[in-house]
Amino acid sequence: MGKKGQLVIGPAGSGKSTYCETIHRYCSEQGRTVHVVNLDPAAEVFNYPVAVDIRDLIKVDDAMDVLHFGPNGGLIYCMEYLLAHSEWLEDAIGDFDDDYLIFDCPGQIELYMHVPMVKALMGMLDRLGYTIASVYVIDSQFVSDPAKFMSANLMCLSAMLQLELPHVSVLSKVDILKAQHGGEEPEFLEDFLSPDPLRLMQKMSSSMDSKFYSLTDAIAGLLDNFSMVSFLPLDITDQDSIDYVLSTIDYAIQYGEDLELNEPAELEDEVDLQDALAAWSRP
């Protein structure tokens, strides 16, 4: 199948670990082998089996206690330490051969927006032959306010440019959003899945202080010119929603493209497959 995987990123509290749990459970039910790699040295609780855990190498508490860093500084130090000891990660994931890997990452967005550590880590995986898609998870509560949503768009765009990976943006917790609107998907959600920044700008302008208008207008113009960010809604209670998100990511990294052609079940063992294909192709 080739070495494939997902880099699950996004702000703290956006639902990354729940996403990893959901995808892992769904794949297990489908008989598909997936391993989750925890890259968050500050993580404490997991609802999925952890195949590889950065905390076996270093924990953020160690960096804070020994080096007297704060939480963010300690986390960045841990990621630097991981890169300096990349052979540990190479050995750990080497046991899985060509299995599909999901990397559950920390919630500090500077790691994906301007600090180069995660990009360097992806370079290492590329050298090992992995094809990785970045999956940027954003809480659906961001759609409650156009200004917040435009901020989420900027975060996604920055991560796309920084990491230079096949990219899919996922709007998480849509099941919660539905529950808040009587169990139905709210009509306004469609406006945010393939957003029109200039239209959002018009909605914001009526309540905006005039001194911020020009800056916000420039940001909307930037997002509109790039037109690279769109979102897939994820309802973890809906199998079709999970399947659509996963299949989109698989397509982005061409997972399954190298599957061998299997002999049709109705053919007898002694029938040559090439002869059968030739027969089917004749009028």
pLDDT tens track for 58-117:
999 999 999 899 999 999 999 999 999 999 999 999 888 788 999 999 998 888 888 888
The whole-number pLDDT of residue 47 equals 92
Cα separation, 23 vs 33, in Å, equals: 11
Cα separation, 264 vs 18, in Å, equals: 38
Q: Do 16 and 150 fall into the same domain?
A: yes
Q: Do 134 and 158 fall into the same domain?
A: yes
- Describe the crossing of helices 117-127 and 71-84 by its angle, rounded to 10 degrees: 20
Partner residues linked to 134 by β-bridges: 7, 167
Residue 21 predicted with pLDDT over 90: yes
Domain presence at residue 113 = yes
Report the number of distinct structural domains present in the chain: 2
The whole-number pLDDT of residue 258 equals 57
Q: Do 127 and 243 fall into the same domain?
A: yes
Domain presence at residue 267 = no
**pLDDT tens column, 155-167:** 888 899 899 999 9
Q: Do 75 and 111 fall into the same domain?
A: yes
Q: Do 95 and 215 fall into the same domain?
A: no
Domain presence at residue 142 = yes
> Domain limits at 202?
196-227
Alpha helices, H only, 180-236: 190-193, 197-205, 210-226
Q: Do 128 and 84 fall into the same domain?
A: yes
**pLDDT tens column, 229-274:** 889 999 999 999 999 999 999 999 999 765 543 443 443 443 443 4
Domain presence at residue 283 = no
Q: Do 220 and 114 fall into the same domain?
A: no
Locus of tokens 């590329």: 126
Domain presence at residue 275 = no
Confirm if 134 and 159 have CB atoms less than 8 A apart. Answer: yes
| pLDDT above 90 coverage of the chain, percent | 56
CA-based end-to-end distance of the chain? 34
Domain presence at residue 270 = no
| Burial class of residue 275, CB neighbours in 10 A (0-12, 13-18, 19+) | exposed
Q: Do 120 and 175 fall into the same domain?
A: yes
Confirm if 144 and 198 have CB atoms less than 8 A apart. Answer: no
Q: Do 217 and 242 fall into the same domain?
A: no
Backbone angles phi, psi at 171, to 5 degrees: -95, 105
Domain presence at residue 282 = no
Q: Which of 27, 81, 234, 117 is nearest to 5 (CA)?
A: 27
Q: Do 138 and 31 fall into the same domain?
A: yes
Q: Do 213 and 116 fall into the same domain?
A: no
